[in-house]
Structure 1
């Protein structure tokens, strides 16, 4: 893990608090009825949200962290890991793979959640690719 992410981890609870409570940003938002975009599930409440909203598939487009794959397996949530470094743009190949996965999951009747760290760069690029 990079020095940046090691330090970031120490301040993450404060960063998340400021982002959500002080600045008023939402951690996840519906883009379409069956497609959501947001930040990485980190706390128990995030995973409870995924289950409550009946997310059937998740795309994690981060390189620096891993999701709770055991929880996904226990709840039959499909998962795609696309490794893109923080502050980098996904390649055309990554976008194509993600778009195909989103399309397949929605066609199968699943709600898809796409996330990177904060849901503003890498994941938003992928969702924009799907919408195009």
Structure 2
């Protein structure tokens, strides 16, 4: 059961959570204590030792963090050849925009493919209210997985915004506790959601835990 200390917020109408409220500090500790098992780049094997394969591998950064769900960076998102090779059907850009720190792709960028696109204009700042997009992102990822497709979720580096949205999916649609979701994703990719995002994931965890009591 998630932990992190009791909370005095909310009054008597809130249902008591065994083990106390989940906190961002607790999730940060779970993140710190979970080590990443670095694996070969998805789509390649040890037999892929030709020059073109090495060049492609050097230009992309991507990991399959759970079955048919991938997290990666901006360069990978723009490499449509690689996404097609992986069989990606849905692309979720959690950093859509033209400013520094954002990724300037949109639905038009993928119009020459069959990939479905969703863009979220999120800044990687603790003050960003990423929670307003949790359910929309989760539904988009679920659509890919439930129809036999594959979702590629990215931001600029593939560490904070994208990881947070995948964690929300696992919590909302797969009914994982936040701690379990973090362990699942972090074991497959070196993710680093910022402190504000961890706090919002903790709040989501408490909401979902109460709903399931």
Normalized per residue, the structure richer in helix is 1
Partner of 2:134: 95
Partner of 1:72: 110
- C-alpha root-mean-square deviation of aligned residues, in Å? 2.4
Unaligned runs of 5+ in 2: 1-56, 172-213
Distance 2:92 2:61 in 1: 15
SS state of the match for residue 130, structure 1? helix
State whether residues 41 and 47 of structure 1, in contact with CA within 8 Å, keep that contact through their aligned partners in structure 2: no
Does residue 58 (structure 1) correspond to residue 97 (structure 2)? The answer is no
Does residue 123 (structure 1) correspond to residue 162 (structure 2)? The answer is yes
Distance 1:97 1:43 in 2: 20
Normalized per residue, the structure richer in strand is 1
| Cα-to-partner distance string for 1:80-114 (whole Å, 9 max, x where unaligned) | 00110133455222111100111112112210000
Does residue 41 (structure 1) correspond to residue 80 (structure 2)? The answer is no
| More relative contact order, 1 or 2 (CA 8 Å, 6+ apart) | 1
With 55-64 and 84-93 compared, the bigger mean Cα shift is at 84-93
User: Which residue of the other structure, out of 44, 49, 66, is the alignment partner of 1:32?
Assistant: 66
Tell me by how many angstroms 1:41 deviates: 3.0
TM-score, with structure 1 as normaliser: 0.70
Matched positions, count? 108
User: Which residue of the other structure, out of 59, 81, 86, is the alignment partner of 2:119?
Assistant: 81
Distance 1:57 1:43 in 2: 11
Pick closer, same or farther for the CA change 1:91–1:50 going to 2, 3 Å.
Answer: same
Unaligned runs of 5+ in 1: 1-19
TM-score, with structure 2 as normaliser: 0.45
